[in-house]
Structure 1
Amino acid sequence: MKKLFFCALAAIVSLQVASAQKRGEMYVGGSLGVTTASASIDGVSASATTFGFAPEFGYFVADRLRLSGSIAYNLTSSGDTSHALTIGPSVAYYVRLCDRFYYTPEAGIGFAYASAYGANGYGFATGLKFGAFEFRPASHCGISFSLLSLQYTYLSYSSGGYSASGNNVQFDFGVSPTIGFKYYF
Structure 2
Amino acid sequence: MMKKLLACALFAIASCTIVSAQNKGEMYVGGILGVSTSSFSADETSTSQTYFRIAPEFGYFVRDNLRVGGSLGYSIAPLEGRTTHTVTIGPNVAYYVKVCDRIYYVPEIGLGFAYASFDGVSGVGLDSEFKFGAFEYRHSAKWSLSLNLMSLDYTTLSFSGENATSNDVAFQLGINPTVGFKFYF
Into which bin does the TM-score normalised by the smaller protein fall? 0.7 to 0.9
Task: Name the CA distance, whole Å, in 2 between partners of 1:49 and 1:33.
Answer: 10
For the Cα contact (< 8 Å) 2:35–2:178, is it kept in 1?
no
More strand by share: 1
What is aligned with 2:150?
Answer: 148
Task: Name the CA distance, whole Å, in 1 between partners of 2:150 and 2:34.
Answer: 17
Q: How much has 1:147 moved relative to structure 2?
A: 1.6
What is aligned with 1:87?
Answer: 89
Quick one: structure 1 residues 90 and 101, their matched pair in 2 at CA, closer, same or farther if it must change by over 3 Å? same
Q: Is residue 2:60 matched to residue 1:59?
A: yes
What is aligned with 1:11?
Answer: none
Task: Name the CA distance, whole Å, in 2 between partners of 1:29 and 1:132.
Answer: 15
Amino acid corresponding to residue 180 of structure 2 in structure 1: G
Moved more, 114-123 or 43-52: 43-52
For the Cα contact (< 8 Å) 2:20–2:65, is it kept in 1?
no
Within 5 A, what are the aligned runs for 1:34-53?
34-53=35-54
Equivalent residues, number:
166
Task: Name the CA distance, whole Å, in 2 between partners of 1:30 and 1:23.
Answer: 21
Amino acid corresponding to residue 75 of structure 2 in structure 1: N
Q: How much has 1:85 moved relative to structure 2?
A: 0.9
Task: Name the CA distance, whole Å, in 1 between partners of 2:169 and 2:36.
Answer: 19
TM superposition score normalised by structure 1: 0.84
What is aligned with 2:179?
Answer: 179
What is aligned with 1:75?
Answer: 76
Q: How much has 1:51 moved relative to structure 2?
A: 2.1
Task: Name the CA distance, whole Å, in 2 between partners of 1:152 and 1:114.
Answer: 14
Q: CA RMSD in A?
A: 1.5
Q: How much has 1:19 moved relative to structure 2?
A: 6.8
TM superposition score normalised by structure 2: 0.84
Q: How much has 1:98 moved relative to structure 2?
A: 1.6
Task: Name the CA distance, whole Å, in 2 between partners of 1:36 and 1:98.
Answer: 32
Task: Name the CA distance, whole Å, in 1 between partners of 2:105 and 2:141.
Answer: 17
For the Cα contact (< 8 Å) 2:146–2:179, is it kept in 1?
yes
Residue 23 of structure 1 aligns to a residue whose secondary structure is: coil
Question: Which segments of 5 or more consecutive residues in structure 1 lack a partner in the other structure?
Answer: 1-17
Question: Which segments of 5 or more consecutive residues in structure 2 lack a partner in the other structure?
Answer: 1-18
Within 5 A, what are the aligned runs for 1:16-35?
20-35=21-36
